[in-house]
Amino acid sequence: MSQAKPCCIPQRELPLRSAEPVRGTPSESAPSGLIALPAGDFLMGTDSPAGFAADGEGPARRVQVRGFEVAPTTVTNAQFREFVRATHYITEAEQIGSSFVFFLQVDEALRRATRQVVRDLPWWLTVEMACWQRPEGPGSSMLDRLDHPVVHVSWNDAAAYCHWANVRLPTEAEWEYAARGGLDGCTYPWGDELAHQGDGQCNIWQGEFPSLPNPPWRPGTVAAASFSPNGYGLYNCVGNVWEWCSDWFSPAYHQQTAGIDPAFVKVTGRRSMRGGSFLCEQSYCNRYRIAGRSSNAPSSSSSNCGFRVVRNLQ
């Protein structure tokens, strides 16, 4: 496997803490439209040389999961707004007063005015007032993209939403089982070729990252239900936004978890993320493969990270 390059995810290191208690009345039911997946087994991880050994993508192994329900899309701005209206929840980015935004998502004036560049990741800016409601900072709004994934949510924010909505974050095993859509061992949710029948299948970087993208594509999210769903009816399992998982992250994940409903519960300081984002590109950060893994501090938030929810079968 190849050596890992610095991934396109900035981090904010804060002391580890539990998710903030959620005020208001919890939702009586999970979001509608969850898809029931039966118990099954699948080949998890990869031994492909295209993977990143340092991320702990392999070795590939046979894993079993119990049946569960999964959302067809990541949580949208409209769904997260319902949660905030019901609970008056304030995200960590709002409490801190800033979040990480990819530099080409903001206008040139704000780019020049924003001097805080993330160390070793110069394409990220620390933008004041950037949050889920203002994805690119002052002057921006999510109101024209209510069907897009909510972004600028930390793992702790996602956990708070789950507590309210009577759902939970998926384990890495559940996420990968669902993302594969029944295609055992394939690279992407639709097969092994990046382009299927000549058409794009996911929202990833168009061009060679981090050079300027090929027009007319611009870096940013698309609607959560864009492109064709996988074999289980899930949209955008790769590309668009990274998705938080419940596991703590470890490069030794595949060596240190059991083969039935595996979950890494030892505290490591970083939570697992899956699926890649609109900033992934094959020649640089090809972590939008189903077996790709990454992680971040649970208090971090950025313009390319959201989450999908699951629920135990009733």
Give the integer Cα–Cα distance in Å for 221 and 121: 20
For the beta carbon of residue 219, count every other beta carbon within 10 angstroms: 21
Token output for 71 = 């959302």
Instruction: Provide the residue-wise pLDDT of the chain in tens; the chain has 314 residues.
Output: 444 555 567 777 665 555 555 666 667 666 789 999 999 999 999 998 877 888 899 999 999 999 999 999 999 999 999 999 999 999 999 999 999 999 999 988 887 777 666 777 888 999 999 999 999 999 999 999 999 999 999 999 999 999 999 999 999 999 999 999 999 999 999 999 887 544 679 999 999 888 889 999 999 999 999 999 999 999 999 999 999 999 999 999 999 998 899 999 999 999 999 999 999 988 788 899 999 999 999 999 999 999 999 999 97
Can you name the residues that pair with 68 across neighbouring β-strands? 37, 312
CB within 8 Å of 219: residues ≥ 6 apart? 102, 104, 105, 205, 213, 278, 279
Between CA 233 and CA 47 the distance in angstroms is 27
- The residues pairing with 61 across neighbouring beta strands, listed in sequence order, are 44
Q: What is the pLDDT of residue 197?
A: 47
Q: What is the pTM of this model?
A: 0.93
Q: Which residues pair with 125 in a beta bridge?
A: 101, 117
Burial of 249 (0-12, 13-18, 19+ CB in 10 A): buried
256 Cβ contact partners less than 8 Å away, ≥ 6 residues apart:
250, 264, 266
Please provide the CATH number assigned to the domain covering 35-76+153-312. 3.90.1580.10
- The DSSP code for 293 is E
Domain ranges of the chain: 35-76+153-312
